A and B are shown apart, each in its own frame.
Chain A
Amino acid sequence: MSSAGAEVNGHFVSLRGVSKRFGDLEVLHGIDLDVDLHQVVCLIGASGSGKSTLLRCVNLLERVDAGTIVVEGQTISGTTKVDVNKLRQKIGIVFQAYNLFPHMTVMENVTLAPIRARRLSKSEARSRARELLALIGLNDKADEYPDRLSGGQQQRVAIVRALAMNPNLMLLDEITSALDPQLIGEVLDLVRTLADEGMTMIIATHEMGFARECADKICFLDGGVIREEGPPQQIFSAPREERTRQFLERVIEAGRM
């Protein structure tokens, strides 16, 4: 594998030989991954295959043990010179459990980071937040607390909270896994809108139908490595690897595709 070329190639995000272990457990075992501008990459694979860890490494919520991560030409791994707060302002992440701030209203959730980290004025932040809330049809919930919202609404607010920082990369970590089936659609619709607008995204997901329709590239993670990657038609219709085939068969059996 080309391990030295990470800083010279033209990809928006580039991972080379990324490894991460928690104690005795090696979660990532030499990941190579390239994501181009405006590309939507879906990570699929069983629970525990390292999808979440991979996303967290990209915005430095986890530090890699080996390998390099380059974002927008800047090497962010293996150095302490990167301003993590600045970096994270450009990389939005949304979690499975929404993680909204329960003591703040929807409006406060969405404007906190723009005001404190981006130093926007309160009125600028609020008007931007209102635009975004209008986009998801939740303007009337601006002054509600998160516990008054449905799971789907909370997750859409979480996405909007990340968008309010004007990120140029979004990481979505199984954002529909905690939702009731009837609420999944409204969240995926929002993600589709983002994809249509050209947002660069890395999405860990169990929603194979969504991945097939929305992704430019599918990566199948297995045992801490990317076992197979390719365009959705190829991965879902003609997987080359036996492990990929087995995984997809199990998914189909479980009725998830």
Chain B
Amino acid sequence: MGQLVHTFFSPLDFLRAVPQVWSGFQFNIKMMIVAEALVLVLALFVAIVRGLPGRASLPFRAIAVVYTDVFRGTPLVLVLFMVLSFSTLNILGLSSSSLFADGVVALTIVYTAYVTEVYRAGIESVHPSQRMAARSLGLSYTQTLRFVVLPQAIRRVVPPLLNDFIGLQKDTALVTIIGVTEAVAQANFYSTDYFNASGLTVAAVFFIILTIPLARFTDHLIKEREKRERAQLV
């Protein structure tokens, strides 16, 4: 028992590991911020393309469907290795000299596929009569989308979207396998250097501290919405 506590919760090692793990964790935070910003925009774009009307846009819709199907089905770890392999090919000068960029690209590709579905669910949840009302006033398809459909859709999907972002934040840890020295890598270095796993505990604490505020905020939003919806029923 004492051995266990010492291995994972040694106060001395804990304190000593903090700066080292923190130096790696900064990469996780940066990756998370860049990837989340890209995902927010790209997923909205893909969701809009998927909803385009008419036969002319069929090929674009098909591409969007294939994209989401493929990358929701492929494990992130695989995508990471694929992006890494792709960037070493140096096609069209698309080589990235940075593993960090490879990690961000892989996270963005996979999470855009997830978040596209979240947006799409939101767009489809807006009642068709809202579009009809907007179009009947002489607003164009694009104006209707921009001023009537999307504002309602996005409001509705904020909680599930934040939920996906909690997943993304944790998955920044996977980028360690292509060699980014982020928090998990540093924690692992520490444990092998000092034969003590408290560094891993430090990394766990960092990730938890990062996700808890987002989780509480999501809960708060869901509760607010329930309150509003109950108020509408009266």
Contact = CB atoms under 8 A, between A and B. Distances in A.
B139 to A, nearest CB: 5
A226 B143 CA distance: 36
B151 interface: yes
A99 B133 contact: yes
A51 to B, nearest CB: 16
Interface stretch (A109-117, A120-128, A193-201, A237-245): A109-117
Nearest to B148: A101
A112 B133 contact: no
B85 interface: no
A16 interface: no
A103 B138 contact: no
B133 A85 contact: no
Contacts of A113: 134, 137-139
A141 to B, nearest CB: 17
A147 interface: yes
A95 B138 contact: no
Contacts of A138: none
A101 B134 contact: yes
Interface in A100-153: 100-103, 112-113, 116-118, 147
Contacts of A147: 231-232
B135 A101 contact: no
Nearest to B154: A103
A93 B140 CA distance: 16
B138 to A, nearest CB: 3
Contact of B135 (A61, A102, A116, A161): A61
Contacts of B88: none
Contacts, number: 62
B139 A116 contact: yes
A85 B140 contact: yes
A89 B138 contact: yes
A181 B183 CA distance: 66
B130 A101 contact: yes
A147 B234 CA distance: 10
Contact of A165 (B137, B147, B151, B155): B137
Interface residues of A, number: 26
A206 B2 CA distance: 82
Interface string A81-103: 00011111100110101011111
B129 interface: yes
A162 interface: yes
B137 A117 contact: yes
Contacts of A85: 138-140
A87 B137 CA distance: 10
B138 A117 contact: yes
A116 B138 CA distance: 9
A154 interface: no
B144 to A, nearest CB: 10
B130 A99 contact: yes
A117 B138 CA distance: 6
Contacts of B151: 103
Most B-side CB within 10 Å, residue of A92, A99, A100 = A99
B152 interface: yes
Most A-side CB within 10 Å, residue of B133, B134, B155 = B133
Contacts of A118: 138
Contacts of A93: 136
B129 A97 contact: yes
A14 interface: no
B233 to A, nearest CB: 10
A59 B152 CA distance: 25
Given A101-B130, A103-B151, A103-B152, A116 B143 contact: yes
Nearest to A88: B138
20 contacts: A59-B136, A61-B135, A61-B136, A87-B138, A88-B136, A92-B137, A95-B129, A97-B129, A99-B133, A101-B130, A102-B152, A103-B155, A113-B134, A113-B138, A116-B143, A117-B137, A117-B138, A117-B140, A147-B232, A162-B137
> Which 7 A-B pairs have CB atoms at the shortest separation, nearest pair first?
A89-B138, A113-B137, A99-B133, A117-B138, A88-B138, A93-B136, A99-B129
Interface of B: 129-130, 132-140, 143, 147-148, 151-152, 155, 231-232
Given A112-B148, A117-B138, 6 more contacts: A89-B138, A97-B129, A99-B129, A112-B137, A112-B147, A117-B137
